[in-house]
Amino acid sequence: MSVADTAEKPQSKTSQAVEHFDVLIVGAGISGIGAAYHLQQQCPGKSFVILDALDSFGGTWHTHRYPGIRSDSDLYTFGYRFKPWVGAPIATADEILSYMGEVIEENDIG
């Protein structure tokens, strides 16, 4: 008999019910939000959840808040094709977060 056979099995410390989702999206950054949008459009019957280590969306644009942070790629390329970017080509973190927030709100993602 091994130690594993005699050791007590760990018990779950959560009382939350288990939920089933068809798709798990890891990360609420620009790619995760884009994936959620496309999933809604292309697979409307599929359920999904977005999991992120933070309690907010934005990924890098939420966590890296040093003064003057801006994109290093133009938002006409970096932005979503389904919601074309209309601001200055090189955007600030706040502008990108606002843009992502609009996408989430307009498409009921979240």
- Check residue 1 and give its pLDDT: 38
Task: Tell me the pLDDT band of 33, cut-offs 50, 70 and 90.
Answer: very high
Using CA atoms, how far apart are residues 39 and 106, in angstroms rounded to an integer? 15
Mean pLDDT highest for which of 17-21, 50-54, 61-65, 67-71? 50-54
Q: Which two tokens stand for residue 78?
A: 């970096």
Residue 33, domain member (yes or no): yes
Average pLDDT (28-32) is: 95
Residue 7, domain member (yes or no): no
Q: Indicate if the pLDDT at residue 110 is higher than 90.
A: no
CATH code of residue 53: 3.50.50.60
Residue, of 70 and 25, whose pLDDT is higher: 25
Residue 54, domain member (yes or no): yes
Average pLDDT, the chain: 86
Q: Which residue has the tokens 């502008």?
A: 95
The number of folded domains in the chain is: 1
Residue 25, domain member (yes or no): yes
Q: Which two tokens stand for residue 101?
A: 């927030």
Please name the helix (run of DSSP H) or strand (run of DSSP E) that holds residue 39, with its range, or none.
helix 30-42
Residue 9, domain member (yes or no): no
Residue 48, domain member (yes or no): yes
Query: Rounded to two decimals, what is the model's pTM?
Result: 0.79
Residue 11, domain member (yes or no): no
Residue 3, domain member (yes or no): no
Using CA atoms, how far apart are residues 105 and 76, in angstroms rounded to an integer? 20
List Cβ neighbours of 65 (8 Å cut-off, separation of 6 or more): 93
Structural domain including 35 reads 21-106
Pairing of strands 48-51, 23-26: parallel
